[in-house]
Each structure stands twice: as C-alpha cells, then as structure tokens.
Amino acid sequence: MPYLTLGAVGISLALILRSLQWHSAKNLCVTSPRESLLPKLSANDIASLPYPPDILPGARDVQTPYGTIKVFEWGPEDGERVLLLHGISTPCLSLANLAEALVAQGYRVLIFDFFGRGYSDTPTDVPYDIRLYTSQILLVLASSSLPWTGDNGFHLIGYSLGGGVAVPFAKFFPHMVRSLVLIAGGGLIRPEHVSTRSRILYSTGIFPEWALERWVKKRLMPKKVINEERMAAEVVGSAPRKHKNSDASGGDSYDNAVLSTRMPGLTVSAVMNFQLLHHEGFIHAFISSIRHAPIYEQQKDWLALGRILAARRVERLPGLRGGRVLFLLGKSDSVIVREELIHDATALLGEDAIEAISLDCGHEIVMTEGESLSRLVTEFWKDAS
C-alpha cells in the first residue's frame, strides 16, 4: 500500500511539473506597457506619462521573433549614422539629450529600448547575454528604411551596459562599426567589486525565480525616488558612494535631471518608477542581464578588439577608423571606476588605442552632459576621419 501511495504522489508531481512546464512554454514573452497599459488610457493620460511612447521623432514598433522592440530614428537622412545603446535599467530615453544634440549637428541617430526596458517586450526563454543583445541590434538595424549595415555603416556609442555590449559587437562586426565610443562603459568591472550578497542573490538555483524577482522588485521599488546610480549599483552589489558636489550623490540636481528637452518635467526618477510599476518584464530582464550580459571580466573580447584596432592603425581597413576608442568617464562614478577602467582597457587594447576624457560627474553622465558629450564625440570622429 505505501508503494501505491508513493507511486500516486510521484505521478501527481510529474503531472504538476508537466503542467507548469507547459504553462511556462506558452508564456515565452511578456508584453511591454505598449500592450499592458496604453490601451487602458486616454490620449491625454498617455501624453502625461513619464515616458510617452511618441516623445521622440521617428518612433516605430518593430515586430520580431523575440517580441516587439521600441525604436526611434530621426535626423537628416543623408547624415552620418549613429547608433546609441543605453544602460541596464533606464530605457533609451536616457540617451535623448545626447541624440538630440547629435541631430542638431547633422547626424542621423537611432536609439531603441533593450528587451525588457521601456516599451520593448521581454523574451523569457533566453538568457540576456551578448547573443541576445547582438541579435536585437541587428533586428533594429534591419528595420530601418535606410542602409545601416555594410562597411563603415554607423558610429556606435554605448553607455554603461551598452558599452559592455558595444565592445563584442564591434569585435564581431568591425567593418560595420565606423567608430566606437564608450560612455561610462561596462565590460571590465573587476570581480572584487561584486559583493558576496550580490553573488548569492543573482546566482541561479538558490532561490525560486518568482521569489527572487519579487524580492528584487521590492528592493528596488523606491519610497520616493530612484535614480540610475542606485540601480546601477546593483551591478556591483553596493550602495552608491557619496561624492561632494556631484550628482552621483543622488541629490535634487540628479534626481530631477531632465531626460528630454521636449518634455521639461520628465525626470530620471519618474521614468524608473514607471518601469518598476508598469513593465512586468523589467525585473526579469534586469536580473538576467546582471547574470549573463557582458558586464564583468570581458578580457577575451577586449583583447580581440585590441588586435583589430592595431590592424586598423597599420592598414586602411573598413570600420573603426584610426584604430582608437574614445572613453568618456565621470570623475565621481561609483559604478565604473575611472582609474581602473583606463588601466585595464589600456592593458588589453593598447595605449595607442585609447583616448580618455573625464567629466566632473558620476554615472549619470549621459543624462546630464548631453551637449558636452556631443561636442567631444564629434571632435573624435573628425580626428579619426
């Protein structure tokens, strides 16, 4: 009799597990607020959102096998093309001021929300590693009516996580990337900056995923405001350090930083809250990116890129003109430590491959220094031509 009971229990458990697997397999993509929120709102309510879906020119929703991607593309059609990649937590709206400044100088810009951020859907059956991010970039480029691929197709600018993604992308497609600019870029964060708590929290197999996502969301959900510095600090598992006279301290000057001149009331904290409250796939994408994205110890890809850059300095090959990379860094950045990144990048890419410029700010650099960054990158492009 006990054997029959155990057998019945085993069969029941197997059926439950199969049911759960079937249910999980059906839900391979979590839709963004584009489908889960916007249909419930009036036109006036949508216009007053912290992230209106049409706030920037050239908005389009791109259907892909991984889900829908939110894309913005604008600027002169005959201008040099610039692709910008955003960070781990803020959507592409964080790049708006820099993109606008580049358009004003005659460039054609393209920005998009990474999967699980902003108005892009969240595929849940794939890791958020370089394979997924590379696939998303190529899908976005293919969605344009203009030719973005081919030799010297576009300048590539990566911020934070976007910088970590940009390096291996440039390694895989060096002929396509006209130049590479890394703004407070990830990829070489040293392992000693990752706390034991973060190693345990973001590892797999220790906690049930549903419980981990609920706990992380509660941890990140602000009582009042949340900013990029605080969110990015999750990557290194520590609270952001305080810096005198720096927006990295999370003071009013940072939390109230305007993300787009088109909407003066649009602040960093408001957009972060919007994602936490209304994007059901955001936490999944955030956790998976910490686990799998090219954020830490990417020496192999950087070393390979260094060899490619060295070849460009000797021969006139397509892409990565001049064989140099521009690093734009915040002096008080508590996530990307300026001195460490310059040292480690120089060792891997080579001294002749690096041009580094520091600004008096923290990890919020791309949101508060758009005009300054645009001048610096365009000067770099002119020198490399």
Residue 43's pLDDT is 95
Tell me what the pLDDT averaged over the chain comes to. 85
Quote the CA–CA distance of 201 and 95 in Å, as a whole number. 30
Beta-sheet pairing, 59-62 with 69-74? antiparallel
Averaged pLDDT, 208-222: 82
Verify that 315 and 259 share a domain, yes or no.
yes
Residue with tokens 């960054």: 373
Three-state secondary-structure class, residue 81: strand
Verify that 137 and 6 share a domain, yes or no.
no
Verify that 6 and 145 share a domain, yes or no.
no
pTM recorded for the entire structure:
0.87
Who wins on pLDDT, 245 or 26? 26
Verify that 5 and 77 share a domain, yes or no.
no
Residue 58's pLDDT is 98
Verify that 21 and 42 share a domain, yes or no.
no
Residue 223 has pLDDT above 70, yes or no: no
Verify that 153 and 301 share a domain, yes or no.
yes
Averaged pLDDT, 102-125: 98
Number of domains observed in the structure of the chain: 2
Please name the residue ranges forming H helices in 86-195. Answer: 96-104, 130-142, 161-172
Residue 11's pLDDT is 41
Verify that 295 and 308 share a domain, yes or no.
yes
Verify that 281 and 319 share a domain, yes or no.
yes
pLDDT band at 252, cuts 50/70/90?
Answer: very low
Q: Which tens digits make up the pLDDT trace of 132-158? A: 999 999 999 999 999 999 999 999 999
Return the CATH number at 175: 3.40.50.1820
Verify that 17 and 37 share a domain, yes or no.
no
In this structure, are residues 322 and 349 in contact, taking their beta carbons and an 8 Å threshold?
no
Verify that 155 and 250 share a domain, yes or no.
yes
Verify that 83 and 214 share a domain, yes or no.
yes
Who wins on pLDDT, 10 or 51? 51
The lowest-confidence range among 117-126, 184-193, 321-330 is 184-193
Averaged pLDDT, 56-65: 97
> What domain range includes position 8?
1-26
The lowest-confidence range among 148-162, 193-207, 309-323 is 193-207
Strand order in the sheet with 69-74: 59-62, 69-74, 108-112, 81-85, 154-159, 177-183, 325-330, 354-359
Alpha carbon distances (Å) from 374 to 75, 88, 98, 156? 14, 21, 6, 13
Verify that 10 and 126 share a domain, yes or no.
no
Quote the CA–CA distance of 183 and 164 in Å, as a whole number. 10
Residue 219's pLDDT is 78
